[in-house]
Every structure is written in C-alpha cells, then in structure tokens.
C-alpha cells in the first residue's frame, strides 16, 4: 500500500496557489544528518532515503544534507529556531543525541521542542575484550575488578559523560566499582579503542554490538562478553548472552530515528508517521535495516513520544547518579 502522491507543482502552475504554500510533506524531501558524511547519522538518513523511494512513498530522491556539531546540537537548534514548520524535512537522531540533550548540551531546548517521528532501528551496547583475554565472561570481569580495579582499564570512543563512557560506568557499577574510581581511557572512536584493546593497552571496551559484529567479520581478534539488551540479538552474535542473563540488569539500547520541527502540522506529521509505520512492517525493510547493522526496533507517533520521554528521564537520573551536569 502506498500513499497517494499529489503533484503540488501542477496545482501551483495552474495558478491556484503558490508552490511554497502547497508543498506536500513527501515532495522534495530532505533528511538532515547532524554530522559529517559517513557514520551513524548518515547511515540513518540513507536508510530512509532507500526505503521510502523503493516503497514509492516519495517520487523524487530524498536529499541528504549534513549539519555537524555537538552530536546533533547544531541541527536541533536550527530546526527549532529557524526551520520549525518545514513539513518535508526530517532530522536523524540517536541515543547519543538524547543523552547529550538530557545533559543540557543542546542549549536551551529540551525533548519537548520537536516532534519525534520514528525509531527505525536499534543497536545495543556491548562489553568487549581481546580474544586472548583471560576474562571469558561477565563473572570473570567482575572478579577481576574486585581483585584489583587498577588492573582493569576501560576504553571507549568518547569522553566522560558520553554514551560509551556511560556503558563503561554502568558495567563498572554492576561489578561494585565506583565509576569515579574506574580507570578509563577515551579514544577518538571505536576503531582506535579496538586497536588498543587488541594491543593490551586497555582490558575492556564498552562499544556497540553491530560495531563488534563488523569488526569480527573484518578479522579483529576480539570477543563479546555480553550484549546490553533486554534479549539476545539476531545474527552472528545470537550466541552471546545479555548482561541480564549473567546476573546484572544493565541495558543500553542505542536507537536511531527521526524528528521533525515543532510547528509541522498534525496532518503532515501523520503522513510521515503513516509512511514509516507501513514501510517498517515489510520484509524488504527488515533486510535493508539489517544490511546497515541495525537490529529491529520500530516505533512511531505517541508510542515513540512516550518512549523518548521515558529514556530522557532515565538519562537524567544516570547523569545525576554519576555527578554529571543535568538539563533542567
């Protein structure tokens, strides 16, 4: 089933109304990736570009534009303050965006200042060690930390307060270690952290499941101890237990999706929401999502809005627990 596509240009040419006033929500679409080309935001926009075009929900290829800065802060401010009513523009976000938003890193705006459109997939945190590490399970990791926390160095792609740091802090806390006493090395990205892990410079890497899956396929000598999900993931990591299975209820879903400006009309917002709901229910979508290293996680409309608000509350509480700045 597809949405009927109206030629608003033809209406405008007939002199009935100006083109700008009658631009349909699925005409001349744009997806803003709040980062440089490449990476997760770009991947998220390209996924929307592919599935909406293949499903014939849009007639013209979706334009992907790049607005780097602050893991989404620059784009968030631009949409809320300068482009709040653009009915044909969607913006990619991630769990990292929400975490920064909860810590006040997006300036004066909060999660209530945009319209949350869709969650199109998820990744999950993962606890990773070198293949030759004597640490074979979460139980072993906890024992090593309890024996001598100074000998267990966590590495992650991000500084204190970042998403990867949070995953390390939660893992350390589960082992009974005060995160402030955790030995932690920040790297520029996951690639650097995995290289350090294989070189023995750090003992544990708090990364992402899909990233680990790709690195293992590429020949990295690493082992995943646990997935920070509510249940086991599909694919090549299906045999890896969750933290919860191993006695520690630590979860870290990394959702990816889109939001729209606060002044987009209910009718136009529904057109987009319906399009994503329908396309995400197809087998073709499952295939495209998996090709981009994302696990199944689909929400739209009120369900997504509720989920976002709950996650924001959890992120604010975590920030407080770890003595980090919290947005008011």
CB 193 within 8 A of CB 205: yes
Asked if pLDDT for residue 297 goes beyond 50, the answer is yes
Asked if pLDDT for residue 293 goes beyond 90, the answer is no
**CA 86 to chain centroid:** 23
Looking at residues 153-159, what average pLDDT do you find? 84
Rounded distance, CA 73 to CA 2, Å? 34
Residues 246-256 have pLDDT tens digits of 999 899 988 99
CA distance to 22, 33, 105, 138, 203, per residue, from 99 (Å) = 36, 17, 9, 25, 25
E strands along 89-240, which residues? Answer: 89-94, 115-130, 153-156, 183-186, 204-208, 222-228
Q: What is the pLDDT of residue 328?
A: 59
Looking at residues 120-140, what average pLDDT do you find? 95
Asked if pLDDT for residue 31 goes beyond 70, the answer is yes
CB 113 within 8 A of CB 72: no
CA-nearest of 52, 155, 115 to 270 is 115
Q: What is the pLDDT of residue 92?
A: 96
Q: What is the pLDDT of residue 248?
A: 93
Does an H or E element contain 288, and which?
helix 283-291
Give the residue, 179 or 245, on which the prediction is more confident. 245
Which domains are present in the chain? 8-123+254-321 (3.40.190.150), 124-246 (3.40.190.10)
Backbone angles phi, psi at 300, to 5 degrees: -140, 170
Asked if pLDDT for residue 20 goes beyond 60, the answer is no
Residues 54-81 have pLDDT tens digits of 888 998 899 999 998 877 899 999 999 9
Residues 157-178 have pLDDT tens digits of 777 888 889 999 998 898 888 8
Rounded distance, CA 71 to CA 133, Å? 33
Tell me what the pLDDT averaged over the chain comes to. Answer: 87
Angle at CA of residue 261, ends 258 and 262, nearest 5°: 120
CA-nearest of 177, 170, 182, 166 to 142 is 177
Using 50, 70 and 90 to split pLDDT, how confident is the model at 19? very low
Looking at residues 302-316, what average pLDDT do you find? 93
């Amino acid at each position: 089933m597809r949405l009927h596509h109206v030629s608003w240009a033809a209406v405008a040419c007939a002199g009935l109304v100006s083109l700008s006033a009658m631009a349909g929500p699925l005409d001349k679409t744009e997806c803003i990736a709040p980062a440089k080309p490449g990476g997760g935001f770009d991947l998220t926009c390209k996924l929307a570009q592919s599935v909406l075009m293949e499903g014939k929900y849009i007639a013209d290829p979706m334009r992907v534009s790049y607005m780097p800065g602050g893991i989404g802060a620059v784009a968030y401010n631009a949409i809320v303050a300068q482009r709040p009513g653009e009915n044909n523009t969607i913006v990619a976000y991630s769990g990292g965006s929400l975490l920064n938003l909860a810590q006040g890193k997006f300036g004066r705006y909060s999660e209530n200042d945009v319209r949350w459109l869709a969650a199109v997939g998820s990744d999950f945190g993962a606890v990773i060690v070198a293949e030759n590490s004597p640490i074979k399970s979460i139980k072993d990791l906890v024992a090593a930390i309890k024996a001598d926390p100074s000998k267990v160095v966590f590495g992650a792609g991000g500084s204190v307060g970042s998403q990867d740091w949070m995953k390390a802090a939660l893992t350390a806390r589960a082992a009974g270690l005060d995160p402030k006493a955790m030995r932690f090395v920040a790297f520029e990205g996951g690639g650097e952290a995995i290289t350090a892990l294989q070189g023995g410079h750090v003992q544990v890497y708090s990364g992402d499941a899909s990233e680990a899956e790709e690195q293992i396929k590429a020949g990295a000598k690493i082992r995943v101890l646990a997935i920070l999900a509510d249940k086991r993931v599909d694919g090549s990591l299906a045999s890896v237990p969750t933290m919860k299975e191993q006695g520690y209820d630590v979860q870290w879903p990394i959702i990816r999706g889109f939001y729209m400006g606060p002044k987009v009309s209910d009718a136009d917002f529904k057109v987009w929401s319906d399009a994503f709901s329908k396309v995400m229910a197809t087998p073709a979508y499952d295939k495209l999502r998996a090709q981009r290293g994302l696990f199944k996680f689909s929400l739209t409309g009120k369900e997504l809005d509720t989920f976002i608000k709950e996650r924001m509350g959890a992120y604010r509480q975590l920030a407080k627990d770890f003595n980090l700045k919290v947005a008011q």
